[in-house]
Structure 1
Amino acid sequence: MSSLGLVAPVLWWLVAELLLWESFMQRAGASLHTCPGVCICASDLLSCVSRSLSLVPPGLPMTATSLDLSHNSLLQLQDNWLARLPRLHTLRIGHNRVSHISAGAFQNASRLTHLDLSSNRLHSVEKHFFQELTNLEELLLYNNQIARVDTSALVRLSSVQKVYLSWNLLTDFPFTALEEGSLPQLKIMDISSNRLSSIPVDKVIALPQTVKNGLYLHNNPFMCDCTLYSMFLHWEKSGFNSVHDFREEHTCLALRQPRASLRFLKHRKMFENCTSAAQGLIGMADASFKGAVGEPLLIGCNTSLQDEQTTYLWISPNKELIAHSSSINQTFKLHSNGSLEIRKAQKEDSGIYICMATNKRLMRNESREINVTVHHGKYEGEGFNTGLTTLLGCVVSLVLVLMYLFLTPCRCWCRPPRNPTPPNECSAQSSILSATPPCNDDASRKASSGKHVVFLEPVKDCQNGKIRLAVSEEFSDSKSPKILQLKSDSGSISSVFSDTPIMH
């Protein structure tokens, strides 16, 4: 009996534990799969659109990977409000009234890849907003009231590819946050339709080519400036999407007048007098070097980091890394000042070279893009030699024409012949601008009085095979003769013009 008395309490304890565990699992299951009444749930998708919500509804299912709270009246994002959504990767809060984001609002949202905060009432982008979003790929902040972006606001977004900041109130932007290596995955940075009146062109042109290709700056009230115009013109020639896609929307204010907005990429007459100094500044980032096949070519890396502690790396057009450790390469040699030497340039060495300078002491890095073209023969003299050859060819042609017109090989034809030409013989001299038939025995070829004969074609019996002369059949009675046609055989030409006046 004593043993049964000991077993009974144990059984009751096990039953109680099972009941508690069942209750816990039921509550956990409810939190996993229940859906708030104001939302629509479909598997792992949760939509609470246009429900006039001023607060985030409680009881959001933990299985949600996509949450849409757009078109509501949310005012702020509190700390840890996403703690119960560990799988969330897409969050849409567009078209709300959010003006404040707490420091820990995204503390438990490290998996988030898409964040839409467009069409809200944010006044700035602070440093603490997105520090936890290391996997974020797309950030939408357009159509807010943002007037300032903190320099470090985007520094932790190492995976971000697209950032949209258009239609805000920005008068300045930290372009240093876009430097080489800061945002390695960045493809689009849209700062269009803001209030930028100027930008630091020297810093912008030093940005990587991939960033400039997606750096949208159109529809800003820029003051018309030669340097700015030259930069955008260069981007247009380079085929950058940031200019090509919105070419008509690139405007500037002529004479600093707000109403004098000019489409400077379409109407370029105002910039015809821009000095070469602006072009030289643009050339800092995109220089060009030309060399000859088989000769050495030295390419400079023109950066502002001219320091002994600066290290240099080059990337060839074939995407090959060129560093000091690879200077033993038979094709390239990297000098200590950052210059790259192509020992024996070949045509296949042509292309875009990228130079990257890094200074750890200054904690800065810069990159330059250099266009290299290798020609056959020395490039420097090519234009001169081609022009000289063309000029000499023209002079020789002119001399030959003058010789043909004014130098007669034999002038004996202008004197009366001492011995008449035999009836069956005829030389080329008898076909030189003569009004009489070339042979005495051809009565059918007499020139009629109604024709002004310039060239007479010799008869077949005495033709010398050198030249044939045509006769105009429709001359009028005017005194000026007409030259109709000059027919030549394949043989050499022995007939020339004469200074003797034409008889008719």
Structure 2
Amino acid sequence: MLVGLASFLEGAEPAAAPAPSPWSVVVLMFHLQLGSVWASACPSGCLCTSDLLSCTDLDQVPVMLPVSTVTLDLNHNHIVRLEEESFKGLPRLEILRLAYNQVTTIQSGAFRKSSGSLLRHLDLSSNQLTVLEQHYFQDLPGLQELLLFNNRIVRVENGALNDLRNLHKVYLSHNLLTDFPFVSIQKHSHPHLSMLDLSSNRLPKLPLEEISNLPQSVQKGLYLHNNSLVCDCSMYSMFRFWEQKDFASVRFFRKEHGCQVYKMQRRIRFFLYNRFFEKCNLSGLKEQESNVSVRAGAPLLLHCITSLSGTTTTFFWLAPNSEYVVPPGNNGSLKMFPNGSLEIVAAREEDSGIYLCMAQDQDRNETREVNVSVLQHEGEAHEHFNTGFTTLLGCVVSLLLVLMYLYLTPCRCPACPKHRTPTTAALGRGMAAGPGSAQSSILTPTPPTTTEGPGRKVSTNKHVVFLEPIREQQNGRLRVGPGLLLGAEPQQRAGETDSYVSVFSDTPIMLP
């Protein structure tokens, strides 16, 4: 076997390719297996599968990690620091779990040389972080979910989330935050952000202008319950507006929204007990509609709703007459404020039209159109008067006609001779239509004067006013009166007449 291997290695027979010996195959398989073991080396104290690595009882991140790891579970360990390049050599890493450790510091570049563009879920909850510094997450552009709840965070630096442009959800509840840089999560910087959980912190006051400039998708998912808010009308107006818009943050945690009453050592749940805000003007914070109307002579405030904010943002309006308006306004008819709002002091007919708001900063600009309609006093009031007057007049006339029909009909004479009238005779051709039939009740203006069948008397003080709809169509077909049921027995027709009267009459007729 050795001779064959030597001849194979030396190439003793170049003319014909010799078949590999079994020994060479064994050596080759050994090297391949050894390389596979080295590539997928599982650290001590860890459980490794094809793409999952789970470790326990560690005080630092293992140095050598399998390159095939997709999910790295380091929960419930004793890790205090994340050193530089702690997760290098993991090009396929997508989920990193570091909850329930003692992490206090994240070194710059801790996630460098890892799959920063693929890592989408990072769980750092239940640790001991105190400040979110700007460099913590700078190497994770693909991160979508960031879990930081149940730490000791007192401050979030202004640019801590700037590099996370693909961020969808951030959980920062159960920390010690007293403020948050809302200005750093505008639409142009985080277009996919739909949830920001800041509940159960220590926020005393909210920057309402920055929050109102957040995209609608962020406001819907902004959770602020169980904070140390101080009660004021502006704060209450914002939450009431969110309640009207049926935001999930209010709908699911309505009972957990509370605030501290000024100069009182008590906390109230303002959605349940709102008597402290009865004198608040709730029109201060509202969404600007694209079409608004105002009465002539009344003031109107137009808001420039935009995602741009900051000291470098400038605003100006373009009026319907192609006139540019900048703070503080012009002509005394238009006033403009530094926050971009435009006030029409006293609306006139010529103020109707489309107003174009423009906001711009160093890199971006946004526009918004508002269509304003000015309504005139006189015409509108005259139209309302005419409509109301004609409606009232119609009701009075209808009531008078009904009363005349009910109480001004001719009196019936009990001594009148009982003879068949021409109408009764005409109806009697080919049928035994008695005076009490439904057709005679409908066609004659007064109730019948004779008895309805032998021994039956019609009540003289019952008026079948609403019996007329019997002749209307039912299910698309004209309803046939009981007197037209040819071939039916007299007793059967009389029973059917009673049923029709009792069902369709507004005033039931009592028959003895």
Distance 1:367 1:242, change over 3 A: farther
Secondary structure of 1:94's counterpart equals coil
Q: Output the CA distance in 2 between the equivalents of 1:379 and 1:466.
A: 52
Question: Structure 1: how far apart are the matches of 2:138 and 2:466?
Answer: 88
Q: Give the Å deviation of 1:84.
A: 2.6
Tell me the residue number matched to 2:89.
84
Q: CA deviation at 1:127?
A: 0.5
Deviation at 1:182, TM superposition (A): 1.5
Give the direction of change, closer, same or farther, for the CA distance of 1:358–1:487 in structure 2 (3 Å limit). closer
**For residues 276 and 214 of structure 2, what CA distance do their matches in structure 1 show?**
28
Alignment-derived partner of residue 289 in structure 2: 287
Residues 405, 41 of structure 1: alpha-carbon distance in 2 compared, 3 angstrom cutoff = closer
- Superposition TM-score, scaled by structure 2 size: 0.60
**Counterpart check, 1:165 vs 2:143:** no
User: d(CA) in 1 for partners of 2:81 and 2:312?
Assistant: 50
Shift of 1:206: 1.6
Gaps of 5+ in 2: 1-9, 12-27, 294-300, 327-339, 341-353, 419-434, 450-459, 469-512
1:205 corresponds to which of 212, 221, 240: 212
Aligned to 1:454: none
**1:450-502 residue CA offsets vs partner (Å, 9 max, x unmatched):** xxxxxxxx99xxx9x8742699xxxxxxxxxx965475998xxxxxxxxxxxx
Q: Give 1:226 deviation, angstroms.
A: 2.2
Shift of 1:396: 4.1
Distance 1:24 1:74, change over 3 A: farther
> Partners in 2 of 1:380 and 1:120 — Cα distance?
69
Residues 171 and 194, structure 1, Cα contact 8 Å, conserved in 2: yes
Instruction: Answer yes or no: is the 8 Å Cα contact 1:290–1:379 preserved in 2.
Output: no
Q: Using a 3 Å threshold, how does the CA distance of structure 1 residues 171 and 333 change in structure 2: closer, same or farther?
A: same
Contact 2:146 2:169 survives alignment (8 Å): yes
3-state SS in 2 of match to 1:468? coil
Q: Please name the residue that 1:502 is paired with.
A: none
User: Which stretches in structure 1 are left out of the alignment for 5+ residues?
Assistant: 1-9, 12-20, 292-298, 314-323, 325-331, 340-352, 407-427, 443-457, 472-481, 491-504
1:265 aligns with 2:265: no
Shift in CA distance, 273/105, structure 1 to aligned 2, threshold 3 Å: same
Equivalent residue of 2:255, what SS? helix
Q: Which amino acid aligns with 1:286?
A: Q
Task: Write out aligned runs for 1:133-212 (5 A).
Answer: 133-212=140-219
Q: Write the letter of the residue equivalent to 1:144.
A: N
Structure 2 match to 1:249 = 256
Question: 1:302: Cα distance to partner?
Answer: 2.1
- Residue 113 of structure 1 is matched in structure 2 by 120
Please point out which of 41, 44, 67 is paired with 1:37: 44
Deviations 1:153-178 (A, max 9, x none): 11111111111111111110111012
Say whether the 8 Å CA contact 1:301–1:368 is kept in structure 2: no
SS at match of 1:195: coil
C-alpha contact (below 8 Å) 1:119/1:143 kept by paired residues: yes
Say if 1:312 and 1:356, in contact at 8 Å, map to a contact too: yes
| 1:424 paired residue number | none
Aligned residue for 1:54, secondary structure, equals coil
Summarize deviations over 1:207-239 as a string: whole Å, max 9, x none. 111111111112222222222222222222223
Contact 2:52 2:69 in 1 (8 A): yes
- How many equivalent pairs are there? 373
* CA distance 1:116–1:489, change in 2 (3 Å): closer
CA distance in 2: counterparts of 1:403 and 1:23, whole angstroms = 110
Distance in 1 (CA, whole Å) between partners of 2:290 and 2:379 is 17
What letter matches 1:58 in structure 2? Answer: V
Given that 1:468 and 1:488 are in contact with CA atoms closer than 8 Å, whether structure 2 keeps it comes out as no
Letter in 2 for 1:78: E
Q: Given residue 73 of structure 1, which amino acid in structure 2 is its aligned partner?
A: H
- More off after superposition, 389-398 vs 79-88: 389-398
For 2:135 and 2:399, the matched residues in 1 are separated by: 84
Q: CA deviation at 1:260?
A: 2.6
Deviation at 1:273, TM superposition (A): 2.6
Corresponding residue SS for 1:58: coil
1:227 and 2:234 aligned: yes
Distance 1:241 1:384 in 2: 45
2:288–2:302: 8 Å Cα contact kept in structure 1? no
Deviation at residue 271 of structure 1 after TM alignment: 3.0
Superposition deviation, residue 274 in structure 1? 1.7
Q: Which amino acid aligns with 1:272?
A: E
User: Counterpart in 2 of 1:216?
Assistant: 223
Q: Secondary structure at the match of 2:283?
A: helix
Tell me whether 1:468 sits opposite 2:433 in the alignment. no
Distance 1:71 1:179, change over 3 A: same
Q: Which residue of 2 aligns with 1:343?
A: none
Q: Could you say which residue in structure 1 is the equivalent of 2:360? A: 359
Matched residues in 2 for 1:380 and 1:102: separation? Answer: 72
Q: Relative to structure 1, is the Cα distance of residues 394 and 93 closer, same or farther in structure 2, using a 3 angstrom cutoff? A: same
Deviations, residues 356-406 of structure 1 (Å, cap 9, x unaligned): 854234x67678797x899xx999978984675244311343366468879
Structure 1: how far apart are the matches of 2:312 and 2:195? Answer: 35
Output the amino acid matched with 2:139: E
1:359 is aligned with what amino acid?
Q
Name the structure 2 match of 1:437.
Answer: 413
Choose from 60, 63, 69 the match for 2:68. 63
Amino acid at match of 1:393: T
Counterparts of 1:38 and 1:380, CA distance in 2: 86
Task: Kindly indicate whether the alpha-carbon contact (under 8 Å) linking 1:137 and 1:160 is maintained by their aligned counterparts in 2.
Answer: yes
Q: Summarize the Cα distance change of 1:89–1:488 in structure 2 as closer, same or farther, 3 Å threshold.
A: closer
* More displaced stretch, 249-258 vs 228-237: 249-258
> Whole-Å Cα distance in 1 between the matches of residues 322 and 43 of structure 2?
65
CA RMSD of aligned residues (A): 4.9
User: C-alpha distance in 2, partners of 1:369/1:146?
Assistant: 41
Q: 1:489 to 1:197 in 2, by over 3 A?
A: closer
Given that 1:90 and 1:113 are in contact with CA atoms closer than 8 Å, whether structure 2 keeps it comes out as: yes
Does structure 2 conserve the Cα–Cα contact (< 8 Å) formed by 1:113 and 1:138?
yes
Q: Which amino acid aligns with 1:437?
A: C
Q: CA deviation at 1:243?
A: 2.1
With 384-393 and 187-196 compared, the bigger mean Cα shift is at 384-393
Deviations along 1:244-278, one digit per CA (max 9) or x if unpaired, are: 2323322223345453321x234444433322xx4
Going from structure 1 to structure 2, the CA distance change for 1:308 and 1:32 (only over 3 Å counts) comes to closer
